[in-house]
A and B are shown apart, each in its own frame.
Chain A
Amino acid sequence: MNFKHKFVFLFPGLFVLIGILIFPIIFTIRLSLSGWNSYTPEMNFIGITNYIRLFTDDPRFWESFFRLSFLSVTTVILQYVIGFALALMVWREIKFKRFFRVIFLIPMMTTPVIMTVIWRTFFHESLGPVNDLLGNLGVKPILWLSDPVIAKFTVIIVEVWQWTPFMFLLLLAGLLSLPKEPFLAAAIDGASPFRKFVYVTFPLMAPISIGAIIIRLIEASKIMDTVFVLTSGGPGTATETSSFYIYIKGLREFQMGYAATLSFTYLVIMIISLTIIAKVLTKLMIKE
């Protein structure tokens, strides 16, 4: 029997794959080898000049990358801890359980850019309500957006507020799908709630936790809108992240070739790092 015709049915999917994944990556690689910018708008070939510039003469990109790593890891850890706590809370039989489940999800359902504008208004140092409130309590105005250190934590606050519900949702779904038997056995053995969590709930939740953490790390590593609206990467370059820096080089300064170099390098670094992180988390959290 001749099955060659079956390959015809694969073409639509193949075309889509080439169109939306392979072609953009190949185009980005080719663009990264060109000097396309505002004054030479052409796909000329300049070899690895852009890559040499990136690895030898662009500390700002690497600073923004390490800043991104700090922000991503911190926000995702906080989201995981808070999200897990909230999920545990509404997993139990408590009053208004459904109401709380909906309330906890609201931040995720709002538009990030608009919410960041609102947060920026809250944190506005001279006109915002947060400092006004603190002033009534006798606290001096805090430079939420204009102190290089505090501004990073402001970004973290907004990110945690926005995306903890996502973590909460995944972890709650995980908790609801856990088998009942191990908990019954632990109860019969007289295990305390703490021991039950450490020895039953947490290990059972490990696979779901790893998935949730990786998904959020991927998302958090693309952080752009919050930084763009809240601080524009400032003060100075204190909150500039990789994606924001790539945006500046590409669409503000119109260094298309160089921005493609940054994008491709960033993609490679992220694939490698996230693979390593996933392996490490699996090793740490899942015990055979």
Chain B
Amino acid sequence: MKTIKTCVTALISALLVFSPVAYADKWSDQFPHIKTTGDIPGECSYESMSKKDYSGKTLKINTHAVPVMGEPTALHAEQFAKLTGAKVDVTHTPAGDLYAKAMVPFQAGQAPYDIVFGFSNFINDWRRYLEPVPKKYVEMKQMQDVTPSHIGVASWDGVMYQFPVDGDRHYLKYRKDVIDNPEYQKKYKADTGKELRVPQTWKEYGEMAAYFNDWDWDGDGEKEYGSAEVMKKDDLMYAAFYSRSAAYSKNPKTPGGFFFDLDTMTPLINNPGFVEALTDWVAATKYVPPGGINFGLGDEIGSFGGGQTLFSFSWDDAFVAAMQPDSPINNKVGAAQLPGAMKVWNRKSNSWDEGFNQAPFFVWGWAVGVAKKSKEKEMAFDYLCFFANEANHQADIGIGRFGVNPFRNDDFKAEVWTQIGWDKDIAESYVDTLAKMEESKNRVFPLRVPGTFEFNAALATAAAKALAGQLSPQAALDEAAKQWNDILNRVGKDNVKKAYSVGVAMEDNKL
């Protein structure tokens, strides 16, 4: 009996000493942000950071406005300061100015910020001014869990310049309480002769969105609408357009470029695949909420997350916001891959290939790097490593407004999401959607070439003209293609081609 008691006591003592829960109690008392998991041991955990001493040093960070990415930056800066004694100054900048705010001092050879936040597709313009992520961080355990796609997004020619803190992709979000509702399924069938299901193609998406537009289908006394989309020029609308175009234009039979033909560097954005997508999008202006043509990302998150629309597609934020406990549509939403198309343009044969095609879009996400001219590089990388440590990451991804989305293999486990209150089937459909995108062999990655901003802005302006009825889809995209050629001539075809070949290799599954 005494032996059993001794064994049990020893076992309990061992558990208390070695279990992460012991750390959890210690650190989550001081830092309630990680109350769900507590500290998780690792090279950049709370415990590890508390052993560093950066007293008397100042870390300067330029990040996005609050809340998206700005709030977690500030929160982790405060935690980092408490743990290490460092002084951390955080500057918040609107999304549209992040690029210039870093570029101006970069080009002038100054480093007013040790850490700069931006978009992952800035990498080509920024990499010459950024310090590559040191080997010790690249090889550490928390980095080993980052998915290969997101390692690729953060790296250039095998060198990691951006510290992974976020993973982004576009996918479909829908109202599960409508699409899975047997009464609505019956009514839709009776009225249209078609099945009400998670839309498989953009045409189905449009038909369902138009059907569920401008009437009160959830009985809350307010009208609901078909779809919320990012249609506002200069507010990331080009990304939404690429998402709609991928199914029509990313043909697995014709590798060698989605945006350009890599051999000739001819812009492909005015081919019939893109025109078809823009034609669909122009039709979508009829089933978005009033004023939807001016929706930026924040409006889209608010509209879908607030229960105003049946569908939406863009980053994770709207979905996570919709799944938060205080959301009116908590546990009423579903996730699925972006719709596909029943035909895809074949640029080699110059004709449509009939048959189902789908292509996930690994859109740009939040990215962050350390300035090459920074005098506090070690502290800067420690901060980033701490920002993305496992405990912080798990807490951050459950808060929609933070803009921190899954990019680690562990994130694709349903338990991560059920433990923060998601229904099991929703959590499973969510992680399944993300995992399938990772597995796809027909992916589209964002354009990451010199002058990315110019290319995307030209495309966005043309698409916006089509949405506003100023130009037809074909005329708008012809205008964009002409501008892309002008930009190519200014930047240098070879420069763009060299950079673009890296993205194409990723799309063609060669990296």
A→B interface (CB under 8 Å): 35, 37-39, 41, 57, 60, 124-126, 131, 141, 143-146, 148, 231-238, 248, 251-255
Is residue B495 within 8 Å, beta carbon to beta carbon, of the partner chain? yes
Evaluate contact between A35 and B232: CB separation under 8 angstroms.
Answer: no
Is residue B217 within 8 Å, beta carbon to beta carbon, of the partner chain? no
Give 9 new A-B contacts, CB below 8 A, not counting A38-B453, A126-B225, A145-B294.
A35-B490, A57-B486, A125-B294, A146-B291, A146-B468, A235-B233, A236-B467, A237-B470, A251-B100
- Name the residue on B nearest A46 (C-beta): B490
B511 to chain A minimum Cβ distance, whole angstroms, is: 23
Chain B contacts of A35 at CB under 8 A? 490
B226 to chain A minimum Cβ distance, whole angstroms, is: 13
Is residue B298 within 8 Å, beta carbon to beta carbon, of the partner chain? no
Centre residue among B100, B467, B495 by max chain A CB count within 10 A = B100
Complexed CA–CA distance, A146 and B299 (Å): 14
15 A-B residue pairs with CB within 8 Å: A38-B453, A60-B461, A126-B290, A126-B308, A144-B291, A145-B294, A148-B469, A233-B234, A234-B232, A234-B468, A237-B464, A237-B465, A252-B234, A253-B454, A254-B100
Evaluate contact between A38 and B450: CB separation under 8 angstroms.
Answer: yes
Centre residue among B289, B293, B294, B468 by max chain A CB count within 10 A = B294
Complexed CA–CA distance, A143 and B285 (Å): 12
Is residue B97 within 8 Å, beta carbon to beta carbon, of the partner chain? yes
Complexed CA–CA distance, A231 and B296 (Å): 11
Evaluate contact between B453 and A234: CB separation under 8 angstroms.
Answer: no
Chain A contacts of B234 at CB under 8 A? 232-233, 248, 252
Complexed CA–CA distance, A233 and B290 (Å): 18
Evaluate whether A232 and B293 lie within 8 angstroms (CB atoms) in the complex, with A38-B453, A252-B100 already known: no
Centre residue among A41, A143, A238 by max chain B CB count within 10 A = A41
Chain A contacts of B490 at CB under 8 A? 35, 37
Q: Is the interface of B mostly helix, strand, loop or mixed?
A: helix
B125 to chain A minimum Cβ distance, whole angstroms, is: 5
Evaluate whether A232 and B232 lie within 8 angstroms (CB atoms) in the complex, with A38-B451, A38-B453, A253-B454 already known: yes
Chain A contacts of B450 at CB under 8 A? 38-39
Evaluate contact between A143 and B290: CB separation under 8 angstroms.
Answer: yes
Evaluate whether A125 and B232 lie within 8 angstroms (CB atoms) in the complex, with A37-B451, A237-B470, A252-B457 already known: no
- Name the residue on A nearest B471 (C-beta): A236
Complexed CA–CA distance, A126 and B222 (Å): 11
Evaluate contact between B308 and A236: CB separation under 8 angstroms.
Answer: no
Pick from B103, B225, B291, B465: contact of A254, CB under 8 Å:
B103
Evaluate contact between A39 and B491: CB separation under 8 angstroms.
Answer: yes
Chain B contacts of A145 at CB under 8 A? 291, 294
Pick from A57, A143, A237, A254: contact of B99, CB under 8 Å:
A254
Complexed CA–CA distance, A178 and B316 (Å): 65
Evaluate whether A233 and B233 lie within 8 angstroms (CB atoms) in the complex, with A124-B291, A145-B294 already known: yes
Evaluate contact between B294 and A146: CB separation under 8 angstroms.
Answer: yes
Complexed CA–CA distance, A38 and B121 (Å): 13
Is residue B328 within 8 Å, beta carbon to beta carbon, of the partner chain? no
Complexed CA–CA distance, A131 and B290 (Å): 10
Complexed CA–CA distance, A183 and B490 (Å): 67
A120 to chain B minimum Cβ distance, whole angstroms, is: 9
> For residues 468 through 510 of chain B, which have their beta carbon under 8 Å from a beta carbon of chain A?
468-470, 486, 490-491, 495
- Name the residue on A nearest B466 (C-beta): A236
Evaluate contact between A143 and B470: CB separation under 8 angstroms.
Answer: no
Centre residue among B125, B291, B451, B453 by max chain A CB count within 10 A = B291
A86 to chain B minimum Cβ distance, whole angstroms, is: 32
> For residues 424 through 452 of chain B, which have their beta carbon under 8 Å from a beta carbon of chain A?
450-451
Is residue B353 within 8 Å, beta carbon to beta carbon, of the partner chain? no
